Amino acid sequence: MKLVVRHAVRAMLVTPDKEILLMRIRNPVTHNEFWICPGGGHDEGENEHEGLARELREELGLTSFEARHVVWKRHHTFDWNRERISQNEVFFVVELPGRFTPVITDPEEAKVLQEFRWWTISQLRATSQSVTPRALAQILSDYWEKGPPQVLRTAQGLVCQSRLASAARPLHVRIRSGSGARVRPFSQARWKPDRPLGIRGSRLHPIPL
């Protein structure tokens, strides 16, 4: 499977009524469906703001907005369309004056899009559907209660694929932190395949990506 390394930017588009716009997409190979924040990978030569402007224009038809605060960063590894994507993502909060009706114009994105929906925090916390980031409700709750974070979390975990659980060789996890990256072994007996791994201090633990 081809490994693709890229940088991406996404928007948490919120209204004064504390709703957020998400899009439900379907993996074209596995047909798994999940809800994500609008956005995507940078094109060559783009910075974060330029990439976000293009993505929101193509995915939503949104051309006027202000992305001021970064509230979340993560390193996310996943399989998509027969490729393994190793992706560094940055999430901005975009405060809107109210709801709008998104219109997608990117034909490739339209193939996997199932629907748009505005969500409340309580709906996010109660849903059994797959939403990413998994900590989205808490990220927004903290933002509305405390404002943008003064210090972003710099330690992010590699999302492990379930197929690794049955691997004969020991599982090693690459930990990214402010001081760089290091690789250390991790006992498979302490890991559940559907949980990403992160680091707190010197100990590995599951984290809600």
pLDDT in tens, 98-131: 999 999 999 999 999 999 999 999 999 999 999 9
Residue 61's identity, in one-letter code, is: G
Distance CA 68, CA 200 (A): 28
116-136 burial, b at 16+ Cβ within 10 Å, e below that, comes to: bebbebeebeeeeeebbbebb
**pLDDT for the residue 202:** 41
Residue 134's identity, in one-letter code, is: R
Distance CA 49, CA 54 (A): 9
Which residue in 95, 96, 87 sits closest to 159, CA to CA?
Answer: 87
pLDDT tens-digit profile of 138-164? Answer: 999 999 999 999 887 643 444 434 333
- Computed from CA positions of residues 169, 6, 56, 144, in that sequence, does the dihedral angle turn out positive or negative? positive
Distance CA 176, CA 195 (A): 17
Q: Choose the most confident range, by mean pLDDT, from 3-7, 92-96, 176-180.
A: 92-96
**pLDDT for the residue 4:** 87
Give the tokens for residue 154.
Answer: 């710099």
Residue that wins the pLDDT comparison between 178 and 153: 153
Residue that wins the pLDDT comparison between 152 and 35: 35
Across 20-24, 45-49, 151-155, least confident range: 151-155
Residue 190 has pLDDT above 60, yes or no: no
User: 2-146 maps to which CATH number?
Assistant: 3.90.79.10
Residue 207 has pLDDT above 60, yes or no: no
Distance CA 172, CA 168 (A): 12
Q: Do the Cβ atoms of 190 and 110 come closer than 8 Å? A: no
Any residues with CB less than 8 A from the CB of 45 and at least 6 apart, and which?
Answer: none
Residue pointed to by tokens 């849903």: 127
Q: What is the mean pLDDT of the chain?
A: 80
Domain range annotation of the chain: 2-146, 162-206
Give the tokens for residue 162.
Answer: 């379930």
